[in-house]
Amino acid sequence: AQSVTQPDIHITVSEGASLELRCNYSYGATPYLFWYVQSPGQGLQLLLKYFSGDTLVQGIKGFEAEFKRSQSSFNLRKPSVHWSDAAEYFCAVGEGGADGLTFGKGTHLIIQP
């Protein structure tokens, strides 16, 4: 069975500092990997996705993520965070873009002024 682990429940980062959110997955075949962001009272918004090809994927809002098969990881990064990045971030894995997703428990990002 597939699973996703996000080891950090909360992360606090100063505005302007760099960010890395960790995601580890368990999946038998080639995974389809996603990062979503959820702001309070909002639905989930897709930041980026990885299906195949270049292991460094670029997303919206200046985010990027790197797929490392040897480490079963798909960490999310941003070089400089803004106060508006404060939100809940979810990593997810699926068998395909249109299949049901398995989500991690999320990482709550807090931005310090």
Q: Which is nearer to another protein, 59 or 85 (CB)?
A: 59
Closest CA to 106 of 21, 12, 26: 21
Q: Which neighbouring-strand residues pair with 110?
A: 12
Q: How far is the CB of 32 from another protein (least distance, A)?
A: 7
> Measured from the CB atom, is 76 or 104 closer to another protein?
104
- Which lies closer to another protein via its Cβ, residue 78 or residue 104? 104
* Minimum distance, C-beta of residue 50 to another protein, in the bound complex (Å): 10
Residue (27 or 103) nearer to another protein, CB: 103
CB contact at 8 A, 65 and 77: yes
Q: Give the nearest distance from C-beta 10 to another protein in angstroms.
A: 11
Q: Tokens 């398995």 identify what position?
A: 102
Name the helix (H) or strand (E) containing 57.
strand 56-58
Q: CB under 8 Å to 4, separation ≥6 — which residues?
A: 23, 24, 25, 26, 91, 92, 93, 102, 103, 104
Q: Give the type of residue at 23.
A: C
- Least distance CB 52 / another protein (angstroms): 9
Rule CB under 8 A: which residues touch another protein? 4, 32, 34, 36, 41-46, 49, 51, 90, 92, 96-106
